[in-house]
Amino acid sequence: MAASTASSSYSAGLSAACCVSPRHGSSFVKPQRSGRPAAAATATLPASGGDQPNLSLDYCCRSKSRAGRGERIRASDDAATIMDAGGWAARLEAPPPVAVVTGASRGIGRAIAVALGGAGCKVVVNYAKSGVEAEEVCREIEASGGTAVSFAADVSCEADVESMMRAAIDAWGTLDVLVNNAGITRDALLMRMKRTQWQEVVDVNLTGVYLCSQAAATLMMKRKKGRIINIASVSGIIGNVGQANYCAAKAGVIGLTKAMAREYGGRNINASS
């Protein structure tokens, strides 16, 4: 995933990840009806106390890492599938939503966590190794009036994932949103790629999504509502030289999301990527 801190406009666009349409199911990259090519995120978060964010439904974001160079993560324009986090939080009469964001210490994950925290969500900032950076994210969220805690967990480890979900429940009593963002790259040409390079990427980028989603959905089913957002990649559709492992994992995330949407939709749990 991207190693550098996302810009403010980049963060604003990613706030869209928190909430999706009340309509059940999943939607991935669809051709835009207007025929326009996807453009960079135009959404901006308002100043404190302002109106709700203005989000373009054809928003996309670019990763600054090699893995995301030129790739776009686009939201569907079908029935406002992806909506702003603040809007959803404002519509709830219950306490603020609780969100778990994996790989949230830097890059895309950091931008999502900060945007959700600023929009009123209570955020679990997950990280694998970057504890100092995760604490910085928590402080940034708290400085904007939000609430956040950091939690170290390897998303490819089932025990770690279960502990992280329990931490959210212990801290705030519920789990409303899961953003599966954690990801790694181990680039190499396919003919030279080692088995360990393949397995590490698949374990984190695909198996991690499966483990976190399964654990979160178990909790969400008890309340009969929830949102699961999986960060996929256009690389999973068109491929990329030197990233067979990454492309295969992201293609798997797309297929997994569709299956999740069918299984969980009837239980009022929306899965999208």
Active site residues: 246
DSSP state at residue 134:
H
- C-alpha 64/C-alpha 40 separation (Å) is 13
Q: Which two tokens stand for residue 126?
A: 């997950």
Alpha helices for the chain (secondary structure H): 8-14, 85-91, 107-118, 131-143, 158-172, 195-202, 208-223, 235-238, 244-264
3-state secondary structure of 238: helix
273 and 231 Cβ atoms separated by less than 8 Å: yes
Which H/E stretch holds residue 237?
helix 235-238
